[in-house]
Amino acid sequence: MGWTGRKDGRMGRKGWMGRIGRMGGKEEQPPRPHHPAFPAFPALPASMVVLALLTATAHAQTADTILVNGKIVTVDAQSSIREALAIRDGRIAALGSSAEMRKLAGPRTRVVDLQGRTVIPGLIDSHLHAIRAAQTFATEVNWIGVPSLADALVRITDASKAMKPGAWLIVAGGWNVQQFKENRRPTQAELVAAAPNNPVYVQLGYGWAMLTPIALKALNITSDSDVPSGGKLERDANGQPTGAISGGQGAIIALFDKLPKPTFAQQVEGTKKFFRELNRLGLTGVYDPGGNNLLPEDYQAVFKVWRQGEMTVRVAYTLCGNTPGGEFEEIKNLVALLPQGFGDDMLKFGGLGERITAAMNNNNRPSDAEKAKYYEIVKWAADRGLALTMHWNNDASVGQLLDIFERVNRETPIGGLRWSIAHLNDASENSLRRMKALGVGWTVQDAMYFGGDGYAQQAGVDAAKRVPPVETGTKIGVPIGGGTDAHRVASYNPFTSLQWFLDGKTVSGHAIRGPEETPDRLDALRFYTLGSAWFSFDEKTRGSLEAGKYADLAVLSKDYLTIPVSDVHGIESVLTMVGGKVVYAAGPFAKYDAGVRSVRLQADR
């Protein structure tokens, strides 16, 4: 073998550099050309060469890990169910019967008896604000899935005892009034009783927050003039402040920015803990859309975890402009040296995030000037081959966004760029057909699990029966990814979202969606695996359990395909693998979790 490929005798990109593996970081050494300083050795006998080749081949085909006696839901094109699979070098080597896979075992192969448990591809959330949530996960109080306000207040008390005296106790979101059996928000007095010596801040979505007197004093808030623009102090019937602040999204975002941030060490710790929490729920990948309260420097914690080789979730991250009116210059500076997909299989650049301009964010009536500026940015992105995702809530106004996308597409085709629209729960058939024609995908979350009751009252029962219209989208051929939009406005539990897809019931237990837009279990699972992989250009490497793909998988505590739909939300993983490496294990598989440091994990619903 010579130094082929270039006239100067050096090997080009399709030579050596093209053979550097992405996964292990190991490089093949270039072949040594014959040189007098390196004398040739005598040729080996043919029989010895054949024996060596056979031995090497047998070794190469030996699996590192084999899972047997299971129910493996592959999510391949045929929705095949297999009994066993073999893993080698971080990828799936083969699938079949347990007997067939055992033939691939060698003396060092780890054989895991699944004892009949169900295995699914590692779940991928196509719209999860993971980097932001991870930053504060080690220091915040988590109310996600707590069944009662009384229990939530106990968590405040417990946190006050576990943290340093006087530490801020922050509930950053992810909870909803309807999840509590009391069906109400906490009062300031209850928060004071729970933690009398700590500043306490509790946020509900992007419209309301409650602060204790110590917290208000620390932020120097005594009147409406001290509250960020667009917000106000709520008052009781006697005109006295209740401790609550309400207002528009911008006001609550600005209020949250006033809170003390975790130290960098706490952000790194939180990132590791949050990713492991996602692993507990079978998640192995996320597409992070950027968004509010997330500045460029806030990415440094996840970058450090990546540099340390401690990522347990594959992350495709995006970047947004943060200064109203100055987004274009910010974006150009941020991505100047970031081509689409830059990174590796654990962390890579996924394009522009959902808040491309402040003026178009949650604006159902943008001006011509605001649309022109937005067009300028997304046209620039298309010219550079960048993916993007855009936050849009209402079908009544999404035509203005699609008009811009269609204008760009006439000048620079976007069909291969994996652009997407997030949310759009009431998408019309016409909008979905326009998206299909453009090659634009749709990331769908369980927002109506929390907000469906209000939507049904506002839009009517008939309108609520078709939210979100995923069956219509599937028939039209729109790429669909499942997700949550966690954790400010929703739970990050993928099984809560999957159950919402399957039963259409809100957090209060009311079934609002009709059968015509209700997917079956395999289709819903496909949204959350292969469907979500599409948005980061990864459908050929993950999202299903097929030979050659990454061994990203979750062994479930219950059989997703057969348990009552009402129990789906309670499923957890008992063994999660990313690239064939165990990142979470519990119960009968806990012994495989050696080397992964223990963290406190909280129930999620």
Task: Give the residue range(s) of CATH 3.20.20.140 domains in the chain.
Answer: 264-593
Q: Is the bond preceding 199 in cis, omega lying within 30 degrees of 0?
A: no
Give the 3-state secondary structure of residue 138.
Answer: coil
> Which pTM was predicted?
0.88
What are 369-416's pLDDT values in tens digits?
999 999 999 999 999 999 999 999 999 999 999 999 999 999 999 999
Rounded Cα gap, residues 409 and 537, in angstroms: 19
Report, as an integer, the average pLDDT of 128-137.
96
| Strand residues in 150-219 grouped as ranges (E) | 169-171, 200-204, 208-211
What are 154-208's pLDDT values in tens digits?
999 999 999 988 999 999 989 999 999 999 999 999 999 999 999 999 999 999 9
What are 509-518's pLDDT values in tens digits?
999 999 999 9
**What is the amino acid identity at position 152?**
A
CA distances 302 to 130, 346, 465, Å, are: 10, 11, 40
- At the second CATH level, the architecture of 140-257 is Roll (3.10)
What are 421-457's pLDDT values in tens digits?
999 999 999 999 999 999 999 999 999 999 999 999 9
The answer to whether residues 140 and 200 touch, using CB atoms and an 8 Å cutoff, is: no
Task: Give the residue range(s) of CATH 3.10.310.70 domains in the chain.
Answer: 140-257
**Given the DSSP bridges, would you call strands 71-73 and 81-82 parallel, antiparallel or unpaired?**
antiparallel
Partners of 71 in the β-ladder: 118
| Strand residues in 78-154 grouped as ranges (E) | 81-82, 84-88, 91-96, 110-113, 118-121, 123-125
Give the 3-state secondary structure of residue 391.
Answer: strand
**CATH number for the 264-593 domain, one of 3.40.1380.10, 3.30.70.270, 1.10.3720.10, 3.20.20.140?**
3.20.20.140
